[in-house]
Amino acid sequence: MALSRLHPSLVWGRCLAVPLLLSVVLACNQKTQEGHGLLPPTPADQTTSANSSPAPFDQPLGNAGFARTVLHTTGPANIDVTVRDAIVGPHGEAQLPDSGGPLIVDLLSGKGSGAAGGKTLDLSSQQPASFPAGAAVALKNSGDSPLVVRLYMLEGK
């Protein structure tokens, strides 16, 4: 079909569509190249890194366990939030300090249980165990490998 047979508005429409499409493709190509290449140098006044190495297990929990604080902050409504990791040696037992608020124990590895107030809960990676405020919790490792748990403590101020 010859261009002379087409309606004049179709000819002008196609003539305008080709440059418009070309400019959109070129603009998109420039946008994709903006995020490539080396990062700029760190500002001179910024000396800290976003990454931090984990704290050592330096808090003894009796004779068979140690803990480290991963996070301690104040949350909404002045709730003190503390996240700790605890490790208990094979076939050992560790006594956690009394918490001022509820305690959630999340099993990371190993096999064991948590006991407080005459009640014993088996620890599972599928379902964290929870203990009420003020409970003296004892972690018992029943396996041949270390028991590693993450503790979430909430305390109202």
143: Cβ contacts below 8 Å, ≥ 6 apart: 90, 91, 110, 111, 112
> Of the given ranges (51-60, 82-91, 107-116), which has the lowest mean pLDDT?
51-60
Give the sheet arrangement for strand 93-95, strand by strand: 93-95, 138-141, 112-116, 119-122
The model's confidence at residue 30, banded by pLDDT at 50, 70 and 90, is: low
pLDDT at 15 over 90: no
Say if CB 109 and CB 155 are below 8 A apart. Answer: no
105: Cβ contacts below 8 Å, ≥ 6 apart: 114, 123, 128, 129, 130, 131, 137, 139, 149, 150, 151
The model's confidence at residue 49, banded by pLDDT at 50, 70 and 90, is: low
The model's confidence at residue 75, banded by pLDDT at 50, 70 and 90, is: confident
pLDDT greater at residue 104 or residue 36: 104
pLDDT for res 11: 58
Q: Which of left, alpha, beta for 46 (phi over 0: left; psi -120 to 50: alpha)?
A: beta
pLDDT for res 46: 64
Q: How many CB atoms lie within 10 A of CB 135?
A: 18
Give the architecture (CATH level 2) of 59-156. Answer: Sandwich (2.60)
pLDDT greater at residue 99 or residue 35: 99
Q: What is the average pLDDT across 90-97?
A: 94
* Whether pTM exceeds 0.75: no
In the chain, % of residues over pLDDT 90: 43
Q: Give how far Cα 34 sits from Cα of 24, 26, 47, Å.
A: 16, 13, 26
DSSP one-letter code for 31: H
pLDDT at 103 over 70: yes
